[in-house]
């Protein structure tokens, strides 16, 4: 796990037929920690176990169910997700708490629904504020963020409209599951991208 900003770490695994890097996050807050979109990683699992502060596993999108059930079983943690995500993954993992847009998960961490892509982003009041996004945004290089490709969601204007709600939050870091994201100036990067 690599700490990206104080209180938020990420680990990445390259797997699957497309060999796309898949990122998972560990959000550490004073009231406890959240494991976000876990991917297989024995070292990370053991580190989370040793810390002993994890309160839940948060599933941002149905396409990130990955190793959620394994982590939940091994760590003895509940799984939290949007109701729409819970409905899509019910055959693969039990969601213990269905979240709604704007709901506080733990210690200031908020769920932000990105409806057009069927996912949830997280706002985390860590550092200068942080937003964590699953698939609606991707990193293309150092400090460069792009929208989910049109072959996944053809209506790019709808994606932009859905992402604009993130701008209601003050944040410096914009972290994404696929790629590095940015640790400073993230809100400005997103504003430029959305036009």
Whether pLDDT at 155 is above 90: no
pLDDT tens, 91-111? 999 999 999 999 999 999 999
Identify the residue whose tokens are 């937003």: 131
pLDDT at 26: 94
Distance CA 193, CA 71 (A): 34
Residue 100 contacts by C-beta under 8 Å, 6 or more apart in sequence? 82, 83, 111, 113
Higher pLDDT, 118 or 88: 88
**Model confidence at 140, in pLDDT bands (50, 70, 90)?**
confident
pLDDT band, very low/low/confident/very high, at 187 (cuts 50, 70, 90): very high
Q: What pLDDT was estimated at residue 111? A: 95
Is the domain defined by 2-194 classed in CATH 1.10.3470.10?
Answer: no
Whether the pLDDT of residue 12 is over 70: the answer is yes
Q: Token digits for 155? A: 């209506």
Residue 15, pLDDT score: 67
- Report the alpha-carbon distance of residue 65 to residue 102 in Å, rounded: 22
pLDDT at residue 19 above 70?
A: no
What percent of the chain shows pLDDT beyond 90? 55
Cα gap 11→44, rounded to integer Å: 8
Mean pLDDT, the chain, integer: 89
Three-state DSSP state, 35: strand
CB 123, CB 170: distance < 8 Å: no
Which ranges of 82-155 would DSSP assign to H, the alpha helix? Answer: 83-89
Contacts 24+ apart (CB under 8 A), 71-74: 71/35, 71/38, 71/45, 74/45, 74/49
Where are the chain's structural domains? 2-194
At residue 98, the pLDDT reads: 96
Q: Decide if pLDDT at 17 tops 90.
A: no
């Amino acid at each position: 796990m690599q700490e990206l900003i104080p209180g938020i770490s990420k680990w990445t695994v390259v797997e699957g037929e497309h060999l796309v890097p898949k990122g998972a996050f560990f959000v550490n807050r004073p009231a406890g920690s959240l494991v976000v979109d876990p991917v297989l990683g024995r070292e990370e699992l053991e580190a989370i176990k040793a810390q002993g502060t994890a309160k839940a596993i948060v599933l941002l999108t149905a396409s990130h169910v990955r190793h959620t059930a394994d982590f939940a079983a091994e760590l003895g943690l509940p799984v939290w997700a949007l109701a729409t995500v819970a409905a899509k993954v019910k055959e693969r993992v039990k969601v213990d708490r269905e979240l709604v847009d704007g709901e506080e998960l733990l210690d200031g961490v908020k769920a932000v629904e990105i409806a057009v892509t069927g996912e949830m982003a997280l706002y985390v009041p860590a550092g200068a504020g942080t937003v964590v996004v699953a698939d609606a945004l991707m990193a293309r290089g150092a400090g460069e963020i792009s929208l989910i490709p049109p072959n996944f969601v053809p209506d790019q204007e709808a994606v932009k409209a859905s992402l604009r709600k993130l701008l209601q939050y003050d944040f410096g870091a914009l972290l994404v599951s696929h790629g590095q994201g940015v640790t400073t100036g993230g809100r400005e990067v997103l504003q430029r991208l959305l036009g």
